[in-house]
Structure 1
């Protein structure tokens, strides 16, 4: 498979709230568009479907990939799917969480460890990386020297645990065994905040 044209990563920042376990917080989310001038894949449909749709700018959307099912990452997924005609993909480990936000609509397809998604002539490999939630997944794009980690890995270390559907030892094991084994120069595009690299974050995840 050969990449077509200039494949690039675009970030759209949207704002809204995150609610779980009776608490609500204001948050800014990173929405990632991966593709070229003809088609894109969207990583996380956060808060504002119309702003994301504007960034798509008429391109064909191959899929809306949910890194996990916390409401701030999926609240715009159903509307964005209608606007773009693209399927919403989620790991089944997060179906219960998904149903809290979209009780009348199921995802259109399943993410699974090792599944390969394609867009604009490049491949993205799904890495099941549970811990922040049971169904959390990352997307590794070797062509772009990048990984999209949702809330599993941030600039500064692992994503949050301690709420429902999460577990600290599990997220640390996912990072040690699945994510931090990627090449050190791999750019980490996160669900919130700034980018980092695999090499930088190896220092921030405890050893066994």
Structure 2
């Protein structure tokens, strides 16, 4: 299992010493969403909440809201447990927990892993978000019943945003829906600018979320 530890410490195993006794691959990154998105893909993210559990919970909420669908686990000291908001976390683990407990909590967290892609069977054919209507069979997107004249790449970017409306998608994730046609994540910025230009008074329906990417607003 690939484990990412978000912490101000230089080594994630300082946060949870039992990790050093387990066979999982451990990466360490600073306590920020930007660092999480820049880090290698992981199966679970541990958020260091030993000193500031409330700030850790806020960060975990942002991490869970990203497009990666990675479950978050809070690492806390026993004294901080009463003040921890477990809402955004899949699991809580004490910093002094033994290897067996830590391993069990990491594996249990995988039950909360978010499947971002629809399975193709239950996926809705028509998706309505605000003034937009996406017909996945007809391969069309309309705004207030008016067809949008989109290029193939613009369509794929907007379709991804509408399919995950309200959830920010990173440039890298949006780049993935283009099948590698544009090598630079900044190409997504160009497509979004073109989309906003074509949306006219609805241009604000595509929102920039600093450090996270873009999202389609739901209202």
Taking structure 1 as the reference length, the TM-score comes to 0.29
Larger radius of gyration: 2
Higher strand share: 1
Higher helix share: 2
